[in-house]
């Protein structure tokens, strides 16, 4: 039994010899038993960060601690971690039992000991019937299980998953996602770090989500926001986070501040309509250019008498069965997506009045930083 | 064309027999690691799916004539290839030492074979002929030198190829290029130097001087460069993640090399061993300079002694030549399983446009295959399924 391991990252950075800084000052504290997901657009360095924790990439600055112990200089084998690779990386020349037992064999377990542990894990993952098969004769889902089993059997303190579901088909992906969540819950003791570019995986699995940013933006750090999935969804701290999470994407409208109150900002949209948003003005001033954000599910169609409305024309409708999406354009041509519930009578070409609820509005200043919302769930 | 071609399905029976046999051999051979690595969700085990050999493509009507013409050309080609072999066999079985004559000897005599195997023979007049040369001893010498040099080459090349494929060090590219360039100079050009060096070494270390099998093996081992390239190319096609997984599993670099990479590279190791063994067996120039004592000679130089200026012992020479081919043939039979998959690794599991190699059955084919391998730059192969750039995968 291994000790439970928390993972701390302290201003960890990685710069390639060419000069590209892929990871910029990441500081994180992942507690025992926590399920932490790294998510971000491609090229943001999330896999690199995971490989740095595993010890497969060296780090240029900062410190990584696992279970309170500095591991910067330790080899992967000494870090008490296990990793599931995107392509599973099963050893093609060994059968499943040998794949599972490889780490145990290296660690010097007795043959009987290793066999019983392999058997236990194989039963847990329902791959005990496959133990004498070679990886080449397994299906994608079975390979995935073997890869997870190979990580489990060593009883590590930290599990690292590098986009483990991206090679599975859609239905298998959902099933395996649930299974990974269950395994983590049952296993309990170990912390898990999971890398994905799929926000659905991130939202559903994470206790805590770390959204990473791509590209060496001027002085920007790699981490855009850290928090529970719902906190990131409902209270994005920046335009980048707001735009990355959610499907369809958050509607973003450019506007100008016209007046300020202690708990409200009034802004004029490009089309001329003025709307009020329940946010604290902070450092914003009258005349500032801002970006307003509304999620599709918070918008509804109303009539001209409602406050905070924006006249629009319906351009296209998508019916998904339980709900529909309406694609609207306002007078200035800005595109807006609205989720309509069943029974909506909107037709393509209709002139409608879109209600923008003040309490659901997000306001981002010129630098893309969110203004604090009143009654937000921070 | 005047009338539309009627499609004619080509059945398996009308396919060239040799070809389909070659294909099935390739399929049964152990797959290249990157093949086993297929990442898409598998719908079944692939060997079963692949065994359906004839492609169900509908073919044009004139295909039949093309197949017949192709057979004629190929049969002619096979005849040309086999003729020298049959002639040597015929000469070795013919009484007397004549190079000419009909292919099928009018009388069969085993005198040359007896002499080659070291037995005295008695001719019609009752005169005894002693074996002129210790042929079996020469063959033994050849095998000894070839085994030593092939083992040394294998050990050196698997490790240095690992360094070139997996480690990062200063001057890596330059060294690789230097290896490539250096081995382009034929060893013949350095004969004088080789002679002088071993003459000098012999003064200090007698067993590593002239007339020593060890020094000859050492000289052959110098040809390791091309094998380093060959093996490096194969290593490059084995996904790095396998060794990374081993590292996370607790393996040291050495353990990952021995337990993961080497077993996967088995086919190419067989290829390298056989090719370097073969090179050691048939090498002439260097051996002719380093070895002089008659009982130390290798077969390649020894057999030249059958051909005096005044008298050519063609019959004895032919019997010796066939005898010399036997150890090589045995070695090919033993390693064929790995050889086939090693030499066709490019076509099976990795991408490289427009290359197919027949299963190597004889030496000349194998040598051709080696040249082909060389030209097509085996180091540039991309494993199927991992065609995306490393940067893309890491993102």
pLDDT in tens, B351-367: 332 333 333 333 444 44
Residues in A closer than 8 angstroms to B389, CB to CB, are none
Q: Residue A25's CB: how many other CB atoms inside 10 A?
A: 16
Classify residue A376: in a domain, yes or no: no
* Per-residue pLDDT at B51: 52
Do A128 and A265 lie in a common domain? no
| Domain endpoint, select from A243, A277, A295 | A243
pLDDT band at B223 (very low <50, low <70, confident <90, very high): confident
Classify residue A369: in a domain, yes or no: no
Residues in A closer than 8 angstroms to B37, CB to CB, are 87, 92
Judge whether residue B290 has pLDDT over 70: yes
* Per-residue pLDDT at B362: 39
User: Do the beta carbons of residue A370 and residue A363 sit within 8 Å?
Assistant: yes
Of A223-227, B83-87, B231-235, B361-365, the one with minimum mean pLDDT is: B361-365
Report CB contact under 8 Å: A103, B250: yes
Report CB contact under 8 Å: A140, B244: no
User: Do the beta carbons of residue B257 and residue B161 sit within 8 Å?
Assistant: no
Alpha-helix runs per DSSP H in A41-91: 46-54
* Per-residue pLDDT at A272: 83
Judge whether residue B216 has pLDDT over 70: yes
Classify residue A372: in a domain, yes or no: no
Report CB contact under 8 Å: A87, B395: no
- Mean of the pLDDT values across residues A74-103? 92
Report CB contact under 8 Å: B39, A88: yes
Classify residue A107: in a domain, yes or no: yes
Distance of residue B387 Cα from the nearest chain A Cα, in angstroms: 13
Question: What is the rounded distance in angstroms from the CA atom of residue A244 to the CA atom of residue A236?
Answer: 10
- The structure tokens listed for B202 are 């012999």
Does pTM surpass 0.95?
Answer: no
Mean pLDDT (chain B, rounded): 75
Cross-chain CB nearest to A93 (options B41, B247, B264): B264
Q: Residue B108's CB: how many other CB atoms inside 10 A?
A: 10
Q: Are strands A191-196 and A35-39 parallel, antiparallel or unpaired?
A: parallel
Instruction: Give the burial class of B182: count Cβ atoms within 10 A of its Cβ; 0-12 exposed, 13-18 middle, 19 or more buried.
Output: exposed
Do A239 and A286 lie in a common domain? no
Judge whether residue B304 has pLDDT over 70: yes
Do A253 and A194 lie in a common domain? no
* Per-residue pLDDT at B154: 96
Do A324 and A215 lie in a common domain? no
Do A267 and A280 lie in a common domain? yes
Q: Locate the domains of chain B by residue range.
A: 135-385
- The structure tokens listed for A270 are 């490009």
User: Do the beta carbons of residue A96 and residue A132 sit within 8 Å?
Assistant: yes
Q: What is the pLDDT of residues A272-299, one digit of tens each?
A: 888 999 998 888 888 889 999 999 999 9
* Per-residue pLDDT at A217: 59
Total number of domains in chain A = 2
Distance of residue A255 Cα from the nearest chain B Cα, in angstroms: 35
Question: What is the rounded distance in angstroms from the CA atom of residue B252 to the CA atom of residue B257?
Answer: 8
Mean pLDDT (chain A, rounded): 88
Residues in A closer than 8 angstroms to B263, CB to CB, are 93
- Mean of the pLDDT values across residues B202-229? 90
Judge whether residue B83 has pLDDT over 60: yes
Do A226 and A320 lie in a common domain? no
Report the share of chain B in percent with pLDDT over 90.
29
pLDDT band at B37 (very low <50, low <70, confident <90, very high): very low
Question: What is the rounded distance in angstroms from the CA atom of residue B229 to the CA atom of residue B177?
Answer: 10
Distance of residue A191 Cα from the nearest chain B Cα, in angstroms: 16
Q: What secondary structure letter does DSSP report for A238?
A: B
User: Do the beta carbons of residue B55 and residue B62 sit within 8 Å?
Assistant: no
For residue B33, what is the nearest residue in chain A, using CA coordinates? A92
Cross-chain CB nearest to B251 (options A47, A77, A169): A77
Q: What is the 3-state secondary structure (H, E, C) of A216-230?
A: CCCCCCCEEEEECHH
Do A155 and A261 lie in a common domain? no
Q: Residue B114's CB: how many other CB atoms inside 10 A?
A: 17
Of B38-42, B161-165, B196-200, B349-353, the one with minimum mean pLDDT is: B349-353
For residue B261, what is the nearest residue in chain A, using CA coordinates? A91
Report CB contact under 8 Å: A93, B45: no
* Per-residue pLDDT at A326: 92
* Per-residue pLDDT at B20: 40
Do A237 and A308 lie in a common domain? no
For residue A104, what is the nearest residue in chain B, using CA coordinates? B249
Judge whether residue B375 has pLDDT over 80: no
Q: Please, which residues have CB within 8 angstroms of residue B5's CB and are 6 or more apart in sequence? A: B60, B61, B62
Mutate to test the interface with B, among A136, A155, A193 (most CBs of B within 10 A): A136
Rg (CA), chain A: 25
CA of A156: how far to CAs of A73, A78, A183, A256, in Å?
Answer: 19, 11, 14, 54
| Domain endpoint, select from A243, A276, A295 | A243
pLDDT band at B314 (very low <50, low <70, confident <90, very high): confident
CA of A35: how far to CAs of A68, A159, A167, A215, in Å?
Answer: 18, 9, 21, 26
Q: What are phi and psi of B383, to 5 degrees?
A: -65, 140
Q: How many residues does chain A have?
A: 378
Class of the CATH-defined domain B135-385: mainly alpha
Q: In this complex, how many residue pairs, one in chain A and one in chain B, have their CB atoms less than 8 Å apart? A: 108
Do A116 and A237 lie in a common domain? yes
Cα dihedral angle (B243, B247, B248, B251), rounded to 10 degrees?
A: 120
Q: What is the pLDDT of residues A14-35, one digit of tens each?
A: 888 877 788 888 899 998 889 9
Residue A158, domain CATH: 3.40.50.300
For residue A162, what is the nearest residue in chain B, using CA coordinates? B394
- Mean of the pLDDT values across residues B81-103? 84
Residues in B closer than 8 angstroms to A85, CB to CB, are 241, 244-245
CA of A347: how far to CAs of A324, A344, B127, in Å?
Answer: 12, 9, 116
Report CB contact under 8 Å: A83, B245: yes
Mutate to test the interface with B, among A91, A133, A134, A139 (most CBs of B within 10 A): A91
Report CB contact under 8 Å: B260, A86: no
Report the share of chain B in percent with pLDDT over 70.
72
Residue numbers of the domain that contains A169: 7-243
- The structure tokens listed for A7 are 């993972």
**3-state secondary structure at position B59:** strand
- Between residues A37 and B323, the one the model is more confident about: A37
- Mean of the pLDDT values across residues A339-367? 87
Residues in B closer than 8 angstroms to A89, CB to CB, are 239, 241-242, 244-245
Do A178 and A89 lie in a common domain? yes
| Domain endpoint, select from A189, A221, A243 | A243
Q: What is the pLDDT of residues A229-266, one digit of tens each?
A: 999 999 999 999 999 998 899 999 999 999 998 888 99
Report CB contact under 8 Å: A140, B252: no
User: Do the beta carbons of residue A156 and residue A67 sit within 8 Å?
Assistant: no
Do A43 and A172 lie in a common domain? yes
Question: What is the rounded distance in angstroms from the CA atom of residue B178 to the CA atom of residue B163?
Answer: 15
- Mean of the pLDDT values across residues A347-355? 89
* Per-residue pLDDT at A50: 94
Question: What is the rounded distance in angstroms from the CA atom of residue A220 to the CA atom of residue B288?
Answer: 71
Do A311 and A331 lie in a common domain? yes
* Per-residue pLDDT at B5: 45
Judge whether residue B18 has pLDDT over 70: no
- H/E stretch holding B120 reads none
Residue A327, domain CATH: 2.40.50.140
pLDDT band at B105 (very low <50, low <70, confident <90, very high): confident
Judge whether residue A104 has pLDDT over 80: yes
pLDDT band at B3 (very low <50, low <70, confident <90, very high): very low
- The structure tokens listed for A10 are 């302290």
Question: What is the rounded distance in angstroms from the CA atom of residue A230 to the CA atom of residue A208?
Answer: 9
Question: What is the rounded distance in angstroms from the CA atom of residue B196 to the CA atom of residue A343?
Answer: 98
User: Do the beta carbons of residue A204 and residue A172 sit within 8 Å?
Assistant: no
Residues in A closer than 8 angstroms to B35, CB to CB, are 136
């Amino acid at each position: 039994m291994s000790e439970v391991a928390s993972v701390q990252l302290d201003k960890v950075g990685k710069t390639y010899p060419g000069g590209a800084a892929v990871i910029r000052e990441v500081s994180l504290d992942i507690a025992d038993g926590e399920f932490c997901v790294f998510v971000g657009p491609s090229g943001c360095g999330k896999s690199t960060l995971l490989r740095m924790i595993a010890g497969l990439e060296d780090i240029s600055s900062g410190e990584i601690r696992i279970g309170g112990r500095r591991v910067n200089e330790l080899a992967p084998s000494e870090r008490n971690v296990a990793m599931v690779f995107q392509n599973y990386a099963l050893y093609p020349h060994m059968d499943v039992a040998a794949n599972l037992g490889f780490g145990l064999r290296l660690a010097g377990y007795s043959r009987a000991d290793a066999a019983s542990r392999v058997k236990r894990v194989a039963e847990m993952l329902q791959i005990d019937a496959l133990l004498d098969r070679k990886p080449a004769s397994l299906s994608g889902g079975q390979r995935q299980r073997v890869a997870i089993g190979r990580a489990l059997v060593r009883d590590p303190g930290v599990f690292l998953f590098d986009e483990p579901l991206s090679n599975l088909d859609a239905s298998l992906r959902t099933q395996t996602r649930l299974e990974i969540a269950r395994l983590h819950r049952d296993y309990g003791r170990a912390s898990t770090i999971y890398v994905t570019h799929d926000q659905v995986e991130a939202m559903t699995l994470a206790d805590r989500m770390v959204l990473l940013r791509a590209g060496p933006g001027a002085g920007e750090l790699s981490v855009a926001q850290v928090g529970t999935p719902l906190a990131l969804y409902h209270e994005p701290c920046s335009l980048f986070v707001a735009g990355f999470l959610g499907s369809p994407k958050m509607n973003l409208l450019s506007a100008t501040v016209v007046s300020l109150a202690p708990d409200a900002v009034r802004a004029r949209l490009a089309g001329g309509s003025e709307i009020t948003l329940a946010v604290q003005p902070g450092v914003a001033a009258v005349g500032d250019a801002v970006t307003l954000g509304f999620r599709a599910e918070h918008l509804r169609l109303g009539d001209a008498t409602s406050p905070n409305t924006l006249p629009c024309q319906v351009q296209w409708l998508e019916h998904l069965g339980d709900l529909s999406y309406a694609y609207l354009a306002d007078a200035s041509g800005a595109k807006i997506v609205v989720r309509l519930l069943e029974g909506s009578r909107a037709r393509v070409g209709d002139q409608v009045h879109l209600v923008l609820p003040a309490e659901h509005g997000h306001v981002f200043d010129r630098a893309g930083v969110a203004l604090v919302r009143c009654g937000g769930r921070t | 064309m005047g009338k539309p071609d009627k499609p004619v399905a080509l059945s398996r029976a009308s396919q060239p027999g040799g070809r389909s046999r070659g294909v099935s051999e390739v399929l049964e051979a152990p797959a290249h690691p990157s093949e086993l690595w297929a990442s898409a969700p598998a719908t079944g085990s692939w060997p079963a799916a692949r065994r359906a050999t004839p492609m169900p493509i509908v073919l044009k009507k004139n295909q039949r004539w093309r197949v017949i013409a192709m057979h004629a050309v190929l049969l002619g080609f096979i005849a040309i290839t086999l003729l020298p072999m049959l002639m040597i066999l015929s000469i070795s079985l013919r009484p007397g030492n004549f190079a000419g004559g009909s292919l099928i000897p009018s009388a069969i005599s085993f005198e040359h074979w007896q002499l080659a195997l070291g037995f005295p023979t008695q001719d019609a007049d009752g005169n005894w002929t002693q074996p002129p040369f210790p042929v079996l001893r020469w063959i033994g010498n050849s095998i000894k030198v070839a085994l030593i040099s092939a083992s040394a080459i294998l050990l050196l090349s698997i490790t240095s190829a690992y360094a070139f494929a997996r480690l990062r060090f200063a001057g890596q590219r330059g060294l690789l290029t230097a290896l490539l360039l250096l081995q382009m100079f034929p060893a013949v050009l350095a004969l004088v130097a080789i002679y002088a060096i071993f003459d000098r070494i012999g003064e200090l270390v007698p067993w590593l001087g002239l007339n020593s099998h060890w020094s000859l093996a050492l000289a052959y081992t110098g040809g390791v460069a091309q094998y380093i390239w060959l093996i490096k190319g194969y290593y490059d096609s084995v996904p790095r993640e396998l060794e990374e997984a081993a590292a996370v599993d607790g393996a040291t670099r050495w353990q990952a090399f021995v337990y993961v990479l080497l077993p996967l590279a088995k086919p190419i190791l067989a290829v390298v061993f056989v090719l370097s063994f073969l090179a050691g067996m048939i090498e002439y120039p260097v051996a002719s300079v380093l070895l002089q004592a008659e009982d130390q000679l290798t077969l390649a130089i020894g057999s030249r002694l059958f051909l005096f200026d005044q008298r050519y012992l063609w019959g004895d020479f032919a019997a010796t030549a066939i005898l010399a081919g036997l150890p090589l043939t045995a070695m090919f039979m033993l390693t064929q399983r790995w050889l086939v998959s090693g030499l066709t690794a490019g076509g099976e599991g990795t991408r490289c446009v427009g290359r197919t190699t027949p299963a190597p059955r004889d030496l000349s084919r194998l040598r051709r295959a080696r040249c082909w391998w060389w030209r097509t730059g085996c180091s540039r192969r991309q494993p199927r399924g991992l065609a995306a750039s490393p940067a893309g995968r890491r993102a």
